[in-house]
A and B are shown apart, each in its own frame.
Chain A
Amino acid sequence: GAVVSQHPSRVICKSGTSVKIECRSLDFQATTMFWYRQFPKQSLMLMATSNEGSKATYEQGVEKDKFLINHASLTLSTLTVTSAHPEDSSFYICSAREPRGPSEQFFGPGTRLTVL
Chain B
Amino acid sequence: AQTVTQSQPEMSVQEAETVTLSCTYDTSESDYYLFWYKQPPSRQMILVIRQEAYKQQNATENRFSVNFQKAAKSFSLKISDSQLGDAAMYFCAYTPVGGKSTFGDGTTLTVKP
Chain A residues at the B interface, C-beta cutoff of 8 Å? 1, 34, 38, 41-44, 46, 49, 91, 93, 95, 102-107, 109-110
- Chief secondary structure at chain A's binding surface: strand
Give the size of the chain B interface in residues (CB under 8 angstroms): 25
**Tally of A-B Cβ pairs under 8 angstroms:** 50
Partner of B50, one of A38, A104, A107: A104
Q: Within the assembled complex, what's the spacing in Å between the Cα atoms of A41 and B109? A: 12
Question: A43 touching B103 by the CB < 8 A rule?
Answer: yes
Question: B43 touching A109 by the CB < 8 A rule?
Answer: yes
What residues of chain A lie closer than 8 Å to B104, measured between beta carbons? 43
Q: Within the assembled complex, what's the spacing in Å between the Cα atoms of A63 and B80? A: 44
Partner of B35, one of A34, A41, A104: A104
Partner of B42, one of A1, A49, A95, A109: A109
Partner of B95, one of A43, A103, A110: A103
